[in-house]
Amino acid sequence: MISIAICDDDKDVIAQIKKCISEYSVSHSVEFDVHSFSCGEKLLETDMNYDLIFLDIEMSGIDGLKTAQMIRQIDRRSRIVYVTNHSEFALRSYSVHPFDFVVKPFKDERIGNVLDELIRYLSENSEKDVVIQLKGEDGPLLLALKNIYVFEYTGNRRITVYTKSETHRIRGSLSDIFALINSESFVSPHKSFIINMEHIDKLNNFTLYTTNGLEVPIAQKKLKDFQNEFSRFIKHYIRQE
């Protein structure tokens, strides 16, 4: 069962998306559990356990961009699809890693395209979350790769690993880490750091900030390469019609 939330202050838009999902369910033999909300406040009151969220940007009260930022503080998993009258909002939303954009007015087939992408994504990522084994100071350390925010090399073959709320000390070099993780989500903006781009919240000059408040410097000589890598990463998430 795939769980979907629709948050829009236009009842007609909610009805249209629901109709598209229902027709898709019948034609593709996929079960959906659909919930609808008229504002961001109502959506944020729920447990936020959705596979996909259709989110209107321009709503009274908390707008869609702010709602998405608040969602990301408690839920990194849900895929957010912005529903908007203005495609330029895409440039303001990289930090929440949107799954797609739907520009109003839209045809029913556009929602079908989003659902196709969702099914494909869930199928490709249905395997058990990747867990890596690191050389902890007190023995082997197992961590889910998606939960790692930053690796910081502190010298003498010692690395600090930062997750959302914990830190761990391991042995090795950053080149050892890159050889182990095999993930395009990680990049090295500085000789002493590797950061998971999934958890970047914002950029400010030569400093990156993660969603849990960590600060990571960008070396001047690595700035262009990092910008290219991050742009590639963002384009993977922002797929416009």
What local confidence, expressed as pLDDT, does residue 127 receive? 47
Percent pLDDT > 90 in the chain is 57
Residue-wise pLDDT for 159-194, tens only, equals 999 998 899 999 999 999 998 887 788 999 999 999
Percent pLDDT > 70 in the chain is 90
What local confidence, expressed as pLDDT, does residue 85 receive? 84
Dihedral of the alpha carbons of 149, 198, 75, 215, in degrees to the nearest 10: 50
Q: What does the mean pLDDT of the chain come to?
A: 88
CB neighbours of 185 closer than 8 A, spacing ≥ 6?
196, 197, 198, 233
d(CA 7, CA 67): 10
Residue-wise pLDDT for 89-126, tens only, equals 555 545 566 788 898 999 999 999 999 999 988 876 65
- Identify the DSSP state of 197: G
Helices (H) and strands (E) in the chain, counts: 6, 15
Nearest Cα to Cα of residue 106 among 9, 215, 16, 11: 16
Domains and CATH numbers, the chain: 2-124 (3.40.50.2300), 131-233 (2.40.50.1020)
CB neighbours of 38 closer than 8 A, spacing ≥ 6?
7, 8, 9, 11, 14
Average pLDDT of the residues in 35-44: 96
Does residue 241 carry a pLDDT above 70?
Answer: no
Phi-psi region of 137 (alpha: psi -120 to 50; beta: other; left: phi over 0): alpha
- Where does the pLDDT of residue 213 fall: very low under 50, low under 70, confident under 90, or very high at 90 and above? very high
d(CA 197, CA 218): 13
Average pLDDT of the residues in 33-46: 95
Nearest Cα to Cα of residue 75 among 102, 53, 101, 106: 53
Confidence (pTM): 0.56
